[in-house]
Structure 1
Amino acid sequence: MTLPENWSEYLLEHPLPVRRAIHQGMCRELLSESPDFPRLVGWLRRDPAAASFVLGAAASGQRQRERSAPHNLEHALSLLGSNWARNQLPTLPILENTIDDEDQRAGYLAASSRAMRAARLTEAWLIERRETNYEMVSVAALLHNLVELALWRDAPELARQALAIARKSLIDFTRNDAEDASLDRCFSVGHAFATVLGEAGIDLLELETALTERYYLPVMLLAEEATIPTLGAHHEAILVLARRLAFASEFGWHHAVIRRLTIAIAEQLHLSPTAAWRVTVKKSLVDAREFADIPLYHPGRLLVQHDDGRDLLWPLPADYGLDADENGCHASGNPKRSTTPGRQLGDTIRQLTRFDQVEEIALYENVDASVSQRRFHWSRSGQAALPEAIGLDQSPLLSRLQSRLETLGIDEQNRERLAPHLDTALKAATRAGLVIAPLSVNGTLISTLFVRGPQGEQQRDIISSLDRA
């Protein structure tokens, strides 16, 4: 897939696609005779493509009147008016209808997720500083990688290539000099995209300058510092840190770059590194639960996998479509720090697949008090016996295990006694043997691991390995 001719003009004339759930939510709000703009803004803030469309339209109108740009999304909507919103927002392309290829769509969603994480972190940190004027900085973070989103739409092979370059620079930095070198020498997603686009004959700096002029906001992948004078120096610093952490945390939370970023964040927040870390982790876990209901990857879940503090850079989600041979698990070379042991879920799942009796592995997350939804699935045969959702009301045994954070194996020895306390689908899965293992962070349930197939001695070996993990 090659880039459209005159790509810069193409981007200005062809809005980026929005997720169907966001499109439907906006359209529902617009059915009212007097749309509730704050509720509409709530939908816009969950999708960088939708937000950029509104801000771009408002900024264009203000420029024609020689007036200042909108300073947030609600201001932009008030400038455009409810009639404009009713006529224009429903015309936005829908992602699921625009991008058919699953890997390509997943890459777009992952980039969208990274923009949202940067925006949420920026907001959380500025609120911690007791600042009320955080909306403009948060929106700037939300729009910072519009070019990456456009590349996933128009030329996904170039987006994958740039992502692989950025990841390699992060790995090299972490292996060689992460403890004493400047973070300015670290990975740069922007420079990776500039390199790839440069080979395609496109100057990223010129392209993003044109976009910046349109949106009146820093939407730069390439420029590490914001170039818009309305942002103060500390706002610029926090925006850059949020962008870097949003990318670096996709590979885990306990490697040298995260530690260096946490120290820099602490300086901006006037907190100790430990306190700054707590603020970031708390916000990331909250967002991970919110993202669970939408098809976006959130690295907050890696806090479960990396609770032991090992210096590892983990693979990106398989959905990115990168070459598995160049996307493995890389140790940074730093010694293992003494921390409280936790579950290394990535290692564990790989090890579980090597047991010959294991037929299926799934991770479930409680979306509310009555339903646990499947978030990860692996099957040796490609078939799924474990259900997509589990009714907690019909599975009192599961609820009890989750509340006590206890691991349990079910096989022919106890099946008759325990299976009646699970819902119909899980009851059927116990015929082949089933291991149920709740996973937690700091005593809080995050997800539940199910392993179908093993019985007898192999089941006991698996339970023992999970208890040691």
Structure 2
Amino acid sequence: MDFQPRAEFLTKSLHRADAWVDHFRRQEFPVLASSAEALEQLRANEDDVDAHLIGQTFANDPLMTLKVLIHASNLNRERRTADAETLTSAVVLMGITPFFNLLGPQPTLEDWLAGDSEALDGVDAVLGRAERASRFALGFAAHRMDPDADILHQAALLHDFAELLLWCHAPALAKTIRIHQKFDPGLRSKVAQQQVLGVDLMSLQKDLIRAWHLPAVFGHLLDERDPQDPQDRCVYLATRAARHSMLGWDNAGLPDDLTDIGALLNLGPIPTLRLLHDLAGDPLARGPDTTM
């Protein structure tokens, strides 16, 4: 049986950036089923829960992370002296009991898109890329002994959150973008998005960061342009390498990734490649001559 879209799913483009921002701001969105289940388990043991445990529990769910940051960013905003830049610090700002009060039982992504296997595959691809990019960013930051490693990990995890929201609220349009790129492999994602949506997702993402009053740090950490600041570059190269290596290690873009990551980390090509394999959970077989 063909998938019948929910009445609330968008099937036609809103065309203007401000209309997309307004729509996303007014909509609920789901989290991973594993996160929804873990939230209820933590709720049942609230007296034994702290912010660090909550941060660890949801560290790999970009949708849950985004939801918590949105709640925290709009809490006592006029009186705050600092932003919560990580999920853990957001929970500290909110307090444990208010956290559970603000986040009741959550809708799950799996139920939200139930019956639409193509949409589930699409969102799974974005989630897999996000998780991989966050591992790369954390590994690069650890190698550089960056004190903001947690923020860089989270920025890489959230790098494509607008695409996740599109799959949740307008799966038909997300599929159309994929079809355009499938039939025109040279078509850039930004151009395909503008053709279908009237706006590219990275620009929309920046508008949402401002509209939700998310920490300003994410505005530049999520920039797609080739940055020179080491922290921005850490996230940029992590997401680029994740995108190029998702389907294998023979992508034509990977040699440039290795060169740029090696320059950032002061590593030679082979140690850089080995590091990427290790961070991806796919260790590179060691040959007799692999030191540089």
TMscore range, shorter length: 0.7 to 0.9
The reply to whether residue 212 of structure 1 matches residue 209 of structure 2 is yes
SS at match of 2:218: coil
Task: Name the CA distance, whole Å, in 2 between partners of 1:59 and 1:257.
Answer: 37
The reply to whether residue 2 of structure 1 matches residue 11 of structure 2 is yes
Aligned length: 269
Q: Which residue among 253, 265, 269 is the counterpart of 2:261?
A: 265
Report the counterpart of residue 127 of structure 1 in structure 2: 142
The reply to whether residue 196 of structure 1 matches residue 211 of structure 2 is no
Write the mapping of 1:353-372 to structure 2, written as runs, cut at 5 A.
none
The reply to whether residue 278 of structure 1 matches residue 292 of structure 2 is no
| Shift of residue 223, structure 1, vs aligned partner | 3.8
Task: Name the CA distance, whole Å, in 2 between partners of 1:223 and 1:131.
Answer: 19
SS at match of 2:90: helix
Task: Name the CA distance, whole Å, in 1 between partners of 2:221 and 2:167.
Answer: 14
Q: Which residue among 58, 66, 82 is the counterpart of 1:44?
A: 58
The reply to whether residue 98 of structure 1 matches residue 87 of structure 2 is no
| Shift of residue 133, structure 1, vs aligned partner | 1.9
Q: Is the 8 A contact 2:30 2:106 kept in 1?
A: yes
SS at match of 1:74: helix
Write the mapping of 1:189-338 to structure 2, written as runs, cut at 5 A.
189=189, 191-192=190-191, 195-202=192-199, 204=201, 207-213=204-210, 214=212, 215-216=214-215, 217-218=217-218, 223-225=223-225, 233-285=229-281
Q: Is the 8 A contact 1:266 1:273 kept in 2?
A: yes
Task: Name the CA distance, whole Å, in 2 between partners of 1:163 and 1:268.
Answer: 32
Q: Which residue among 82, 90, 94 is the counterpart of 1:76?
A: 90
Report the counterpart of residue 125 of structure 2 in structure 1: 110
Q: Is the 8 A contact 1:122 1:242 kept in 2?
A: yes
Report the counterpart of residue 152 of structure 1 in structure 2: 167
User: For each residue in 1:37-62, what CA deviation from the matched residue of structure 2 results, as whole angstroms up to 9, or x when unmatched?
Assistant: 22211222111000001111111225
| Shift of residue 257, structure 1, vs aligned partner | 0.8
Residue segments in structure 1 that go unaligned for 5+ positions in a row: 173-186, 286-299, 308-440, 444-469
Task: Name the CA distance, whole Å, in 2 between partners of 1:156 and 1:39.
Answer: 33
Q: Is the 8 A contact 2:162 2:202 kept in 1?
A: no
| Shift of residue 278, structure 1, vs aligned partner | 0.8
Q: Which residue among 43, 54, 60 is the counterpart of 2:74?
A: 60
Q: Is the 8 A contact 1:29 1:39 kept in 2?
A: no
Percent identity of paired positions between Structure 1 and Structure 2: 25
Report the counterpart of residue 21 of structure 1 in structure 2: 34
Report the counterpart of residue 180 of structure 1 in structure 2: none
For residue 86 of structure 1, what is the amino acid of its counterpart?
Answer: F
Report the counterpart of residue 5 of structure 2 in structure 1: none
Query: Alpha carbons of 1:125 and 1:103: their partners in 2 closer, same or farther (altered >3 Å)?
Result: same
For residue 2 of structure 1, what is the amino acid of its counterpart?
Answer: T
User: For each residue in 1:302-341, what CA deviation from the matched residue of structure 2 results, as whole angstroms up to 9, or x when unmatched?
Assistant: x8xxx8xxxxxxxxxxxxxxxxxxxxxxxxxxxxxxxxxx
Normalized per residue, the structure richer in strand is 1
TM-score by length of 1: 0.52
Query: Alpha carbons of 1:269 and 1:205: their partners in 2 closer, same or farther (altered >3 Å)?
Result: closer
SS at match of 1:136: helix
User: For each residue in 1:1-37, what CA deviation from the matched residue of structure 2 results, as whole angstroms up to 9, or x when unmatched?
Assistant: 5158643222123233111111111221222233232
For residue 209 of structure 1, what is the amino acid of its counterpart?
Answer: K
Task: Name the CA distance, whole Å, in 2 between partners of 1:251 and 1:165.
Answer: 20
| Shift of residue 198, structure 1, vs aligned partner | 4.6
SS at match of 1:92: coil
For residue 235 of structure 2, what is the amino acid of its counterpart?
Answer: L
For residue 238 of structure 2, what is the amino acid of its counterpart?
Answer: A
Query: Alpha carbons of 1:222 and 1:83: their partners in 2 closer, same or farther (altered >3 Å)?
Result: closer
Structure of greater Rg: 1
| Shift of residue 226, structure 1, vs aligned partner | 8.9
| Shift of residue 205, structure 1, vs aligned partner | 5.7
Q: Is the 8 A contact 2:84 2:90 kept in 1?
A: yes
SS at match of 1:2: coil
Residue segments in structure 2 that go unaligned for 5+ positions in a row: 1-9, 288-292
Q: Is the 8 A contact 2:32 2:110 kept in 1?
A: yes
Normalized per residue, the structure richer in helix is 2
| Shift of residue 197, structure 1, vs aligned partner | 4.0
Q: Is the 8 A contact 2:13 2:173 kept in 1?
A: no
Q: Is the 8 A contact 1:123 1:135 kept in 2?
A: yes
For residue 193 of structure 2, what is the amino acid of its counterpart?
Answer: V
Report the counterpart of residue 3 of structure 2 in structure 1: none
TM-score by length of 2: 0.81
Query: Alpha carbons of 1:62 and 1:25: their partners in 2 closer, same or farther (altered >3 Å)?
Result: same
Q: Is the 8 A contact 1:4 1:10 kept in 2?
A: no
Report the counterpart of residue 7 of structure 2 in structure 1: none
Query: Alpha carbons of 1:165 and 1:3: their partners in 2 closer, same or farther (altered >3 Å)?
Result: closer
